[in-house]
Structure 1
């Protein structure tokens, strides 16, 4: 099993949106960064645990937990001219973008704020605390995942 942090802007899709889906399962679409795409295509696997992280909002931080329930497959939004994720350079023969399905597990009582995470000496490897890491999908090592989960 591997561990991840998936960033989202809560005004676009929040932990509450995921929690309110009847079966709690949603595809994680719209990833338009090649490194993040490669993670979805090649590395993220069934059963992996995912922190849901709200960014670009008042309380930036880890807000909940999900699990990968379907491994990487073609992101259909890249082919839809009406979608904000449309990519005219992508074709059905050579799709560029991937997505996975995640299942809501729980929302945390309070947000584990980024400013708190940055003060934790136990957390040094996650991209959140490193300069220049702006990916929407970040790997989290097992020890840091356990530590962060214990703080949520």
Structure 2
């Protein structure tokens, strides 16, 4: 997660995913401030980014839907499900947006 946070650039779009309850993508946000030292700890290994909401998805996309879509079989959410922050390829991003419009 740390390396993925540090790789985020201002303007990047991200999905907002409920990872505890619901297990679903519910919205889109964008990076408004790139990675900096987490102010809640003195441990320099931890970073945060600042996000701003962009929009709520028309319909939440569940983890089960993602697992069931052939276009998303290589998405990190399935392959590396323990990561809390992970990259999403442009094709995967577009596929998820398409699912949300159904």
TM-score (norm 1): 0.62
What secondary structure sits across from 1:39 in the alignment? helix
**Corresponding residue for 1:77?**
40
**Corresponding residue for 1:11?**
none
**Corresponding residue for 1:8?**
none
Deviations 1:102-134 (A, max 9, x none): 11011123210111110000112211222x531
**Corresponding residue for 1:112?**
61
Equivalent in 68, 84, 96 of residue 148 of structure 1: 96
Residues in 2 aligned to 1:67 and 1:48: alpha-carbon distance in whole angstroms: 5
| Aligned residue runs from structure 1 range 12-91, under 5 A | 36-41=1-6, 43-57=7-21, 59-79=22-42, 90=43
- Unpaired segments ≥5 residues, structure 2: none
What secondary structure sits across from 1:76 in the alignment? coil
Residues in 2 aligned to 1:149 and 1:51: alpha-carbon distance in whole angstroms: 10
| Aligned residue runs from structure 1 range 95-134, under 5 A | 95-130=44-79, 132-134=80-82
| Aligned residue runs from structure 1 range 2-17, under 5 A | none
Residues in 1 aligned to 2:36 and 2:46: alpha-carbon distance in whole angstroms: 8
TM-score (norm 2): 0.90
Q: What's the CA shift for 1:135?
A: 0.6
- Unpaired segments ≥5 residues, structure 1: 1-35, 80-89
Q: Which runs of 4+ in 1 moved over 3 A?
A: none
Whether contact under 8 Å (1:126, 1:138) holds in the other structure is no
* Greater relative contact order (Cα < 8 A, sep 6+): 1
**Corresponding residue for 1:139?**
87
